[in-house]
C-alpha cells in the first residue's frame, strides 16, 4: 500500500467500517455490508438521495432501514470502501464499527442511539429527546476511548410517553417521565434478547430520576463502567447484561452514583403512559400540520423508491425525513390541505396507507445476507404472513389487536422476535436434500409498561407452514379472549401446551375469506 493510500485510510479509522455478510450458501452473493448511522433517525431529503446514489452505484439499488434507525447497503466491495467513505464523509455520515467478525471480547462500539422518531413534533410529547440522542451518538462515534468495548453497546432515548424505541431490549434506556412537577428521565439497564449469556433479558428499571441536562454525562459514565468492568475473558459473557446480572441493579446504581458524584432521586411512577408506534397519519404539535409514517414492512426499498420518497418530502413537507425503530419512514411537517394529495401520491408509488397497523409495528431481519438462513428469508416470510392476515381477517379486526409480528432468521434474534405478540426465530434443519429453513414460534412477548418475553410453543416449523400456524393462533385468540384482553395477557393465563394446541387446531385454512 502506498504512503498516500495509507494516509487516506487512516483518516477513516474509527469512524468507518464494512460489515461482513459472508453467507456460505451464497443466496445473495454479498460479501460486505455498509451500515450508515443516522443520528436520531433524522436526515434531509438531499442526504437520503445521496444515500440512494450510493445504493445505486455500489449496492445494486437496494437499501434497508434497520431497527436502530440506520440505513444498510449490501454487495459492497472492499476495494470500493475508500471512495464510499469519502463520499459519506462529505454528506455527513459515519458507520457502526461492525466488530462481529472478530473473535474474543473486544472491538465493541456504541451503536446508533435510537430515538423517538416523532421527537419534537409529537403532539403529546413529554420531552424532545432528539438533541440528547444526537449528542450521544456524536460523542461516541470515532472516539478512541470507546472503540474497544467488550461488545457492542446499545442506547435508546424516548420522550413521547410510549415505548416506541423498544427500551426493554437496549443496554441502556432513558425514558422521559414526570416526577411530581418535574420533567426528566428514568433509566433502564441490561436489556438484550440475543443468544449471548445469560440469555435473553429485558432491561431492568433502576427507579432513578435524572434531569435532562444529566442524561449525556450519565450515558458516558455507564459506558465507562461497562468498558472498565465488562467481561473480556469470554465473548459469550461480554454483553452489558452479564455485568448487570452479576452486580444487580442496586449495586449498579450505587457504583454509578459514586462515579458521577450524584445522589439520584427516586422514581416510583409509571415508565410508559400509552401505546403507539407513531403509525399512520398523526397530528403534530403545531396546529394544522401532520406527519405521515410510511409502512415499509421489513424496511427494504429501492434507490428509485428512495428518490420518490425524497421528492414527496420536498413537495409536501419541509425536506426532512425520519427513520423509525420499526423500519419505516416518516415525512413530517405536511400541511392539512396536502393530506389527500400525499395519500394519493403514496398509492401511486405503491405504498398505500390503508393497511393494517401490523405493517407499521412488525420487524423482519436481513437474514438472507448474514448466512444464517436458507430458502425463504425473514423479510419475505414476514411479508407473506402479513399480506395473508390482512386478506383473511380484514383490517378492522387486525387493527383492534395492535398485532406485532417479528421475524428473525437465526437464534441471534436481530428481529427481536421474543418481544412481539407472535415471534418467529429461524434456524436451519438438515433434511435429505440438504438444509431447510424452519422457525420456532414464540407467543406472548410485549413491550411498554409490562414487558414480557415470548414463550416458545412450537419448534422446527417449516417456513411454508408458518402462515397456517399464525392464522390458527390468531383465530383461536379472537374466539377465546376475554373482553379487552391483549395477546400477552391471553398467553399468560394459558399453559404452553394449551397455546401449542391453538397453533394447530383444525378449522382454519390458508385461503382468504
DSSP 8-class letter at 201:
B
Average pLDDT, rounded, for the chain: 93
CB atoms within 10 A of CB 334: 23
| Bridge pairing between strands 434-443 and 32-37 | unpaired
Q: Quick one: which of 451, 415, 176 has its CA closest to 300?
A: 415
Look-up of cell digits 443468544: 195
The pTM score is 0.95
What is the distance between the alpha carbons of residues 81 and 68, in angstroms, rounded to a whole number? 23
Maximal C-alpha separation, the chain: 71
Check residue 431 and give its pLDDT: 82
What is the distance between the alpha carbons of residues 457 and 499, in angstroms, rounded to a whole number? 7
CA 183 to chain centre: 26
CA 32 to chain centre: 21
Check residue 24 and give its pLDDT: 59
Check residue 45 and give its pLDDT: 98
* Half-sphere exposure in the Cβ direction for 161 (13 Å, CA): 10
What is the distance between the alpha carbons of residues 183 and 126, in angstroms, rounded to a whole number? 8
Check residue 432 and give its pLDDT: 79
What is the distance between the alpha carbons of residues 97 and 229, in angstroms, rounded to a whole number? 21
HEC assignment per residue over 390-448 = HHHHCHHHHHCCCCCEEEECCCCCCCCHHHCCEEEEEEEEEECCEEEEEEEEEECCECC
Asked if 417 and 423 count as a contact pair (C-beta separation under 8 A), the reply is: yes
How distant, in Å, are the alpha carbons of 180, 253, 257, 498 from that of 265?
12, 11, 11, 44
Q: Quote the cell numbers at residue 53.
A: 446514489
Domains of the chain: 1-95+283-354 (3.90.480.20), 104-278 (3.30.413.10), 360-504 (3.30.413.10)
Q: Point out the residues of the chain with pLDDT beneath 70.
A: 1-8, 22-27, 99-102, 371-376, 505-513
What is the distance between the alpha carbons of residues 71 and 47, in angstroms, rounded to a whole number? 12
Asked if 252 and 240 count as a contact pair (C-beta separation under 8 A), the reply is: no
What is the distance between the alpha carbons of residues 489 and 443, in angstroms, rounded to a whole number? 11
CA 300 to chain centre: 13
Please calculate the CA angle 433-437-439 and round it to the nearest 5 degrees.
140
* Half-sphere exposure in the Cβ direction for 1 (13 Å, CA): 10
Look-up of cell digits 410508559: 272
Asked if 315 and 331 count as a contact pair (C-beta separation under 8 A), the reply is: no
| SS3 state at 164 | coil
pLDDT digits (tens, 9 = 90+) for 418-465: 999 999 999 888 887 778 889 999 999 999 999 999 999 999 999 889
What is the distance between the alpha carbons of residues 194 and 414, in angstroms, rounded to a whole number? 7
What is the distance between the alpha carbons of residues 378 and 293, in angstroms, rounded to a whole number? 22
What is the distance between the alpha carbons of residues 321 and 328, in angstroms, rounded to a whole number? 10
Amino acid at each position: 500500500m502506498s504512503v498516500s493510500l495509507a494516509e487516506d485510510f487512516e483518516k477513516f479509522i474509527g469512524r468507518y467500517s464494512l460489515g461482513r455478510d459472508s453467507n456460505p450458501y451464497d443466496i445473495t452473493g454479498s460479501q460486505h455490508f455498509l451500515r450508515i448511522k443516522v443520528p436520531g433517525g433524522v436526515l434531509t431529503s438531499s442526504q437520503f438521495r445521496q444515500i440512494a446514489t450510493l445504493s445505486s452505484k455500489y449496492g445494486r439499488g437496494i437499501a434497508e432501514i434497520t431497527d436502530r434507525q440506520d440505513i444498510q447497503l449490501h454487495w459492497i466491495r472492499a476495494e470500493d470502501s475508500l471512495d464510499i467513505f469519502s463520499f459519506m464523509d462529505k454528506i455527513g455520515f459515519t458507520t457502526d464499527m461492525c466488530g462481529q467478525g472478530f473473535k474474543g471480547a473486544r472491538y465493541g462500539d456504541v451503536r446508533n442511539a435510537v430515538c423517538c422518531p416523532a421527537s419534537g413534533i409529537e403532539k403529546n410529547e413529554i420531552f424532545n429527546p432528539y438533541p440528547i440522542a444526537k449528542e450521544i451518538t456524536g460523542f461516541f462515534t470515532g472516539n478512541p476511548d470507546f472503540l474497544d468495548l467488550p461488545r457492542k453497546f446499545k442506547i435508546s432515548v424516548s420522550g413521547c410517553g410510549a415505548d416506541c424505541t423498544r427500551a426493554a431490549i437496549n443496554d441502556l434506556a432513558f425514558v422521559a417521565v414526570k416526577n411530581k412537577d418535574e420533567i426528566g428521565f428514568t433509566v433502564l439497564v441490561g436489556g438484550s434478547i440475543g443468544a449471548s449469556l445469560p440469555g435473553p433479558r429485558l432491561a431492568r428499571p433502576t427507579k432513578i430520576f435524572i434531569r435532562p441536562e444529566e442524561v449525556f454525562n450519565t450515558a458516558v459514565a455507564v459506558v465507562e463502567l461497562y468498558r472498565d468492568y465488562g467481561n473480556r475473558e469470554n465473548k459469550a459473557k461480554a454483553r452489558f447484561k452479564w455485568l448487570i446480572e452479576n452486580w444487580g441493579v442496586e449495586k449498579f446504581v450505587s457504583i454509578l452514583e459514586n462515579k458521577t458524584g450524584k445522589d439520584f432521586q427516586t422514581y416510583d411512577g409509571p415508565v410508559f403512559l400509552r401505546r403507539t408506534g407513531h403509525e399512520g397519519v398523526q397530528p403534530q404539535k403545531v396546529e394544522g400540520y401532520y406527519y405521515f409514517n410510511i409502512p415499509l414492512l421489513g424496511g427494504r426499498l429501492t434507490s428509485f423508491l428512495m428518490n420518490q420518497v425524497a421528492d414527496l418530502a420536498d413537495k409536501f413537507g419541509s425536506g426532512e425525513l425520519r427513520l423509525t425503530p420499526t423500519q419505516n419512514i416518516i415525512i413530517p411537517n405536511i400541511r392539512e390541505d396536502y393530506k389527500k394529495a400525499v395519500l394519493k401520491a403514496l398509492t401511486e408509488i405503491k405504498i398505500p396507507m390503508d393497511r393494517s397497523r401490523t405493517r407499521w409495528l412488525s420487524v423482519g431481519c436481513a437474514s438472507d445476507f448474514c448466512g444464517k438462513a436458507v430458502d425463504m428469508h425473514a423479510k419475505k416470510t414476514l411479508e407473506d404472513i402479513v399480506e395473508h392476515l390482512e386478506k383473511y381477517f380484514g383490517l378492522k379486526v387486525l387493527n383492534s389487536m395492535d398485532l406485532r409480528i417479528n421475524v428473525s432468521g437465526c437464534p441471534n434474534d436481530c428481529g427481536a422476535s421474543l418481544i412481539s405478540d407472535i415471534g418467529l426465530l429461524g434456524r436451519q434443519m438438515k433434511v435429505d436434500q440438504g438444509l431447510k429453513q424452519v422457525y420456532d414460534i414464540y407467543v406472548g412477548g410485549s413491550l411498554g409498561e409490562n414487558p414480557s418475553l415470548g414463550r416458545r410453543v412450537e419448534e422446527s416449523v417449516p417456513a411454508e407452514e408458518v402462515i397456517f400456524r399464525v392464522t390458527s393462533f390468531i383465530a383461536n385468540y379472537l374466539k377465546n379472549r376475554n373482553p379487552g384482553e391483549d395477546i400477552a395477557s391471553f398467553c399468560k393465563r394459558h399453559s404452553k401446551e394449551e397455546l401449542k394446541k391453538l397453533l394447530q387446531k383444525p378449522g382454519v385454512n390458508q385461503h382468504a375469506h
